[in-house]
Amino acid sequence: MEYAKFGETLYIRMDKGDEIIGGIIDICKKEKISSAVFNGIGGCSEATIQTFLPDEGRFESQTVCGMLELVSLTGNITSDENGLFHHTHAVFSYKGGEKHCVAGGHMKSITVLYTAEIELRPVKGGIISRKYDPETGTGFWSF
């Protein structure tokens, strides 16, 4: 993984075997970024996709493997008393036999196959925190 900062924006290139979400969080820690938004594209080998089940207050996970074209990655970094937190969604296209397939949703982890290119934009002039909502069992932005 390598990154450069131009203006206030960080441009990240992740390499084979890098885990995208952990890499973004590591950069935020190193650069002392407590809230940010990001987007990206790339080629991945594995993605663990989660779907939140509100009635059960938990996430259900599914892992997809193979040549996964990262069509769209979008997310944010917020902070709370426990540190940094990510909220990441992604869409992948891939071949399933003779069919072209798509999978996407809330991401737990994403492993790079050959590269991922990510733009990370820190929030300036304030901090977006995260607060727990007991009604839904998840967290939301807090200003």
Tens digit of pLDDT for each residue in 40-50?
Answer: 999 999 999 99
Longest Cα separation, the chain = 50
Please give the C-alpha separations between residue 77 and each of 17, 35, 58, 122, in angstroms, as whole numbers: 22, 5, 20, 9
Number of domains in the chain: 1
Which structural domain range is residue 82 located in?
2-142
Question: What number of other Cβ atoms are within 10 A of residue 124's Cβ?
Answer: 8
What is the pTM (predicted TM-score) of this model? 0.93
How do residues 12-39 score in pLDDT, each as one tens digit? 999 999 999 999 999 999 999 999 999 9
Find the CATH number of the domain harbouring 92.
3.30.1330.80
